[in-house]
Amino acid sequence: MIVKMKFLQISGPEHDIDRMCRQYLSKHEIQLENAIAELKTTDNLQPFIEVNPYRDPLGKAEQFCELLKVKPEPDMSMDLDSIGEMLREINHDYVELQERKEMLKKREDELKEKAVALAPFRGLEIRPGDTAKYQFMKIRFGRIGLDYYRRLERYLYQDMHAIFLEGSRNENYVYGCYVVSNEEKTKTDSVFNSLHFERMTLPDEYAGTVQQVYEIIQKDVQRLTAETQELEDQSQELMKKNAAKILGARKKLQEASDYFDIRKKAVKSLEEDENDGYYILCGWMGEDDVEAFQRESKDDPNVMILVEEDKEKYFGEAPTKLNNPKIFKPFEMFTEMYGLPGANEMDPTIFVALTYTIIFGAMFGDLGQGAVLFVGGGLLYLFKKMRLAGIISVAGIFSMFFGLMFGSVFGFEDVIPALWLRPVDAMTNLPFVGQLNTVFVVAIAVGMGLNLLVMLFQVINAVKAHDLENLLFSNNGLAGIVFYGFLVLTVVLFMTGHKTPSNILLAIFLGIPVLLFLFKEPLGNLVEKNHKKMEVGPGMFLVQGFFELFETMLSYFSNTLSYVRIGAFAVSHAAIMEVVLMLSGAEQGSPNIIGVIVGNAIVMLLEGLVVGIQVLRLEYYEMFSRFYKGNGRKFEPFKNTTNR
Amino acid sequence: MGNVMSYSGLVTKVRAMQAKLLTEQDFVNIANMSSVPDIVEYLKNGTPYADALNRMDESLYHRRHIEKVLELSLYADYVRIFRFAGMNQKKFMKGFWKRYEINVINYCLRIVLNHRDIPFDLDYKKEYFDKYSQISIDKLVTSDSVETLVDNLKGTEYYEPLQKLRDSSGATLYDYSMALEQYYFRNAWYKQRKVLSKDEKELFTRDAGLKIDLLNLEWIYRAKKYFHMLPTDIYLMTIPIHYRIRPEEFKAMVEAPTVEQFLQLFANSYYSRFKAVTRKDSHPVEDIYRECLHRLYVQDRRRNPYSLATVNSYLALKEEEIQKLTTAMECIRYQLTPRETLEYLGGKSE
C-alpha cells in the first residue's frame, strides 16, 4: 500500500522555528523540500543565513568521544548552556596536555636524530666529546662511498699519513673517522675531499665513548616516551571522568544542531523590523500525520499549517512511502530493489509477498528444511532486523506446506504420506506432448494464470494513469489479455480433450489483437487525439512492426515456458536429496546421521540460494516487466539523527 | 663443433655485412674529395649507407645530418645481428647496446647541465630505442634539469649509480659521465662476462681487459699531459680493473710526477710491444690504443671464426669506420689536403 502524501506549508514567527520543530516535527515524519526553490514565485523571501552555533561544540564533543575507550550510558541532564561551559573547561585542560605532549615529542625527535647520527659509529672506541680538545691531531667523522673506500684501500692508504678507523658499513657507505696529525691535515683533508668523504658532526655535549653516549641518549628517549605516555593517560583519564557527560553532550548537541539545520530548507520573510519576520517550511507528509499535526496545533497561535491540495502540478510528484501490514513489511525490500512505485502506480509488495513465498515453497518443498528456514530466518529477523531473513522465514512456512503436499521431510520421502503427489513420480498424459511430470504441467498452468493476472494489473495501472494507448492496444493491455487469454483457453481445451474453438473464432480473437499490436502507435495517437506525423515511411514501419510483433510473440512464449522452472526445481530438490540419502547410506537401512545432516545443510544452502534467486528472477522479469515501472522516489523524512 | 652449429647463421650474416665495409681504397678516394656533398654522392654507390642517403633531402647534406645517418646505420647493423642471435647470444649482445644508451644519457646530461637552450635532438633514434632499449626517449626529452633527468631514468639500471650522485649535491657533468662510464665497464667485466661459455669468456676477458687497460693508460696520459691532475683524482677517474698491468705498475704510473716519466714507465709495460705508425702531432699512447684494439679484433676473428668474436669485431670495425668517415668529413670541411686527411684517418682498414 502507498501512503497518500500531502504537501504542507508551515509558517510562524521566525524566533519560534526551533520550538515548533521540537514539538511537532519530532513526532510526525515530514520530507522537507527546499522552500526557496518551491516558493520561487513569492517575493520578499530570503534564506536563513545564520551559522549553526552548535557545530563547533559538537565537533569538540565528537573529538572527545573518539578518545573514549568505554562508552557509559549518556548523561542527558545538562542544558545546552552548561554543556558549553563543561566542554570549554575540558578543552582547556585537554589543550594544555596536548601542548606539553607536543613539546616532549619535539625533544624526543631531536634526541632520536642524534641517536641515528651516532649509530653507525658505535664500533669506535672514541670519545666524541673530547675530539675538539686534542691539541696535536684532528679526528674527522663521516662517511665515504664504498667504491671510493676500495680505491682508498688499494692505492692511497699506504702512502697516507693518517689512520682511518671503520665504524660500520652498509651496501653504499663506510662510516668511520680518520685521525691525522696537524701538519698533515691539509693534504689529507684534500685527499678525502676528492674521495667524496662526507663529514658528519657528532653530538659533543656528552662524555663517554660513542657507544656510551648512544646508550645515554637511548635512555633519555625512553624516559621521554614514558612521559608522553603518561600525558596520554592523563588526557584519557580526563575524558573518562567526564565520559557520561560528554556522551550526553554530544547527543544533545547533535539534536540541537539537526533542528537548527532545518533552517537550511526554510525561508524567512523580509521585514523592516527584525523581530517581525516569519518563517516558512514546506514538505511532504503522510495523510494521517497531517491530520494529527493539525489537530495538535489547532490551539497553538504561533503555528500555521497550509495543506496544499493538488499541488503535484507545481511541486513534482509526491515521494512514495510504503505502508504494508507487518507480515508483508520485509518484502518491501524487493520492491525497493526494483524501484519504488510512482504516485499513480499500485504497490506490488503484497503481490510479490504472496507469489514469492508460494513459488519458493513449491520449488523448495520440504517439511523439515522449511521448518529450519522458518525458525532460523525468524530469529535473525527478530534480533538482527534483517529483512531478507524475514522473507526467508515466511517462505519457510510455504516450504513446510509444500513439504506436506509432496510428502518430504529432510529428503526422506517415506516418512510421511504425500497429501498431493510426489514430484518425481507423478506423471500426466497429455495429447500431442505425451507423458510429462504433473508438476511441470501445473507450473505452466500457474504461469499462464499469473501472466494473465499481471496483464490485468497493467490494465489497472493504465486506467489510473489515464494511458489509453497502453490500456487498449499494448501487448500487456486489453488487446494482450484477449490474445493471450484466448490462446490459453484454446490450449487448455485441447489438452483436456475438449473441442477447440472454430477457425473463424481463432482468426477473429487472435488476428484482431495482433493487428492492434502492430498499429499500436498510430491507433494510440488517434484515441489520445495527438496529431503526430509518422516519422518513418510505411514500408519501414511495417518492417519494424513485424519484428516487434515477432519479439512480442516470443516473449509470450518464453514467459510462459519460464514457469517450468517451478516444477523443475521441485523435481530436482527431490532428486538431489535422494542422492544425499544414497551417499549417506539410507538405502541399506541405517543412514549415517552426520552424512544426512551435512548433506541437508549443503543442499539447503545451495538450493535455498539458487531458488531464492530464480524466484526473484521470475518476479522481476516475467511479472514486473509487464505491469510495473517503479520510477517513484523514496520518502526521506527529516529525522533527528540521535533518535535513530 | 657446437660453436659452428650455433654460430653458422650468425657468422654468415656478419660476413656478408663485413664485405660491405669500406676499404682502404675507399678512404683514399674520400680523402681526395673536396666537399661533403661529394662524399655523400660517393657513399650512395653501393655502400650500406646508400639507402638512407638516397632518401635524404639534398638540402640536408650537412655533416650534422650525415652523422645521424651513420649512427643509425650502426644501430641497424646491431639490430640485424641481434635478430639472428640465439637466446644467450642476445643476452651478451645487450651489453653492446648499453654503450649506445650511455651515449644518449651523456648527450642529455650535457644539455641539461650546461643549461643550453637547444632542444633535444633524439627523435631520429626513437625507433630503435623504443624497441630495443630500457630507456624511453619520450621521457628523456621532457627533462629540464638533472633531477628530472635522473627521475626519468627510474626503472633502468642507470638510475641507481646516478641517483646516488644526485643525492649528494654539487656533482658536475664530469661526475655524472664518470659514474656512467665506471658503471658500464664494471657491468661488462662482472656481469656481461657471466653469460659466456668458457672459451668465449677467455676471449671476451682479453678484449675487455685490454680495452680497459688501454683506456686507463690513455686517461692517465691525458690527465697528466693536459690537465695536470693530482694522483688522487686520477685514481678516481680510472676504472679499478687491471688486466695486463700490475697494480704496483699502475700505481707508479699514476703517481709519476711528469709526463716523461710516465712514458718511460709505459715503455716498459706489456703494451709497449705494439708498434704503431705515429703521426707528428699525435702521441704514442693514443696511437697504440687504436692500433692494438684493431689488431686484437682482427686477430680474434681469425682465430675463432665461430664465436662472438666475429660479432664483437664487426661492431668495433663498424664503429671505427663511422669514426673515420666523421673525421674525413671534418677534415674536408676544414679544407685539409688529402695527405693530411689520410694521416688523420690513420690506422688500417681492410
pLDDT per position in chain B (350 positions), as tens?
456 777 888 888 888 888 888 888 888 888 888 888 888 888 888 788 888 888 877 777 778 888 888 888 888 899 988 888 888 888 888 888 888 899 888 888 888 887 766 777 888 888 888 888 888 888 888 888 888 888 888 888 888 888 877 877 677 888 888 888 888 888 888 887 777 888 788 888 888 888 888 888 888 888 888 888 888 888 888 888 888 888 888 888 888 888 888 888 888 888 877 765 555 555 667 777 877 888 888 888 888 888 888 888 888 888 888 988 888 888 888 888 888 888 777 644 33
pLDDT, mean of residues A121-133: 84
Q: How far is A170 from chain B (nearest CA, A)?
A: 14
* B 204-223: CB under 8 A from A: none
The helix (run of H) or strand (run of E) holding residue B223 is: none
pLDDT per position as a tens digit, A500-551: 888 888 888 888 888 888 888 888 888 877 776 667 778 888 888 889 899 9
- What is the pLDDT at residue B201? 84
> Does A624 or A276 have the greater pLDDT score?
A624
Tell me the count of A-B CB pairs closer than 8 A.
Answer: 29
- What is the pLDDT at residue B13? 87
Judged by CB atoms closer than 8 Å, whether chains meet at B232 and A148 is answered as no
- What is the pLDDT at residue A642? 47
Q: Are A411 and A578 in contact (CB under 8 A)?
A: yes
A71 Cβ under 8 Å from any chain B Cβ? no
A500 Cβ under 8 Å from any chain B Cβ? no
A195 Cβ under 8 Å from any chain B Cβ? yes
Q: How far is B252 from chain A (nearest CA, A)?
A: 10
A145 Cβ under 8 Å from any chain B Cβ? yes
B240 Cβ under 8 Å from any chain A Cβ? yes
pLDDT per position as a tens digit, B132-170: 888 888 888 888 888 888 888 888 888 888 887 787 767
SS3 call for A175: strand
**The pTM of the whole model exceeds 0.90:** no
Judged by CB atoms closer than 8 Å, whether chains meet at B254 and A154 is answered as no
Q: Which residues of B touch A188 (CB under 8 A)?
A: none
A412/A421 Cα distance (integer angstroms): 14
Judged by CB atoms closer than 8 Å, whether chains meet at A155 and B251 is answered as yes
Report H helices in A70-136. Answer: 80-118
Which of B232, B233, B249 should be substituted to probe chain A, the one whose Cβ sees the most A Cβ atoms within 10 Å?
B232
B115/B226 Cα distance (integer angstroms): 26
**A643 — pLDDT class (breaks 50, 70, 90):** very low
**A274 — pLDDT class (breaks 50, 70, 90):** low
Q: Which residues of A touch B168 (CB under 8 A)?
A: 196, 198
* CB-neighbour burial class of residue A202 (10 A; exposed 0-12, middle 13-18, buried 19+): buried
- What is the pLDDT at residue A370? 92
Residue B326 Cα distances to A429, A452, B45, B65, angstroms: 99, 92, 18, 11
Nearest to B235 among A155, A190, A196 (CB): A155
Residue of A nearest to B253 (CA): A155
Judged by CB atoms closer than 8 Å, whether chains meet at B235 and A190 is answered as no
Judged by CB atoms closer than 8 Å, whether chains meet at A156 and B164 is answered as no
B232 Cβ under 8 Å from any chain A Cβ? yes
Q: Which residues of B touch A146 (CB under 8 A)?
A: none
Q: Which residues of A touch B235 (CB under 8 A)?
A: 151, 155-156
* A 175-194: CB under 8 A from B: 190-191, 194
Q: How far is B232 from chain A (nearest CA, A)?
A: 6
Q: Are A284 and A35 in contact (CB under 8 A)?
A: no
Q: Are A368 and A402 in contact (CB under 8 A)?
A: no
Average pLDDT score, chain A: 85
List of residues 6+ apart from B143 with CB closer than 8 A: B108, B112, B149, B151, B152
B243's grid cell: 688486466
Judged by CB atoms closer than 8 Å, whether chains meet at A190 and B168 is answered as no
Nearest to B232 among A147, A150, A156 (CB): A156
Taking Cα atoms as reference points, which of A325, A322, A323, A321 lies closest to residue A394?
A325
Q: Which residues of A touch B247 (CB under 8 A)?
A: 154-155
List of residues 6+ apart from B245 with CB closer than 8 A: B213, B216, B217, B253, B269, B270, B271
Q: How far is A139 from chain B (nearest CA, A)?
A: 21
Taking Cα atoms as reference points, which of B212, B112, B236, B103 lies closest to residue B158?
B103
Q: How far is A190 from chain B (nearest CA, A)?
A: 9
B247 Cβ under 8 Å from any chain A Cβ? yes
- What is the pLDDT at residue B350? 34
Asked whether this complex has an ipTM greater than 0.85, the answer is: no
> Does A533 or A71 have the greater pLDDT score?
A71
Which of A148, A189, A193, A194 should be substituted to probe chain B, the one whose Cβ sees the most B Cβ atoms within 10 Å?
A194
List of residues 6+ apart from A324 with CB closer than 8 A: A1, A331, A332, A347, A349, A350
pLDDT, mean of residues A40-68: 80
Q: Are B275 and B298 in contact (CB under 8 A)?
A: no
A62/A249 Cα distance (integer angstroms): 9
* A254 has pLDDT over 60: yes
Judged by CB atoms closer than 8 Å, whether chains meet at B236 and A150 is answered as no
Q: Which residues are paired to A142 by β-bridges?
A: A176, A199
pLDDT per position as a tens digit, A192-202: 888 888 888 88
pLDDT over 90 for what percent of chain A? 18
A513's grid cell: 489483437
pLDDT per position as a tens digit, A152-177: 888 888 888 888 888 888 888 889 89
Residue of A nearest to B170 (CA): A196
Nearest to A195 among B168, B182, B232 (CB): B232
Q: Which residues of A touch B230 (CB under 8 A)?
A: 194
The helix (run of H) or strand (run of E) holding residue A160 is: none
Judged by CB atoms closer than 8 Å, whether chains meet at A198 and B240 is answered as no
A156 Cβ under 8 Å from any chain B Cβ? yes
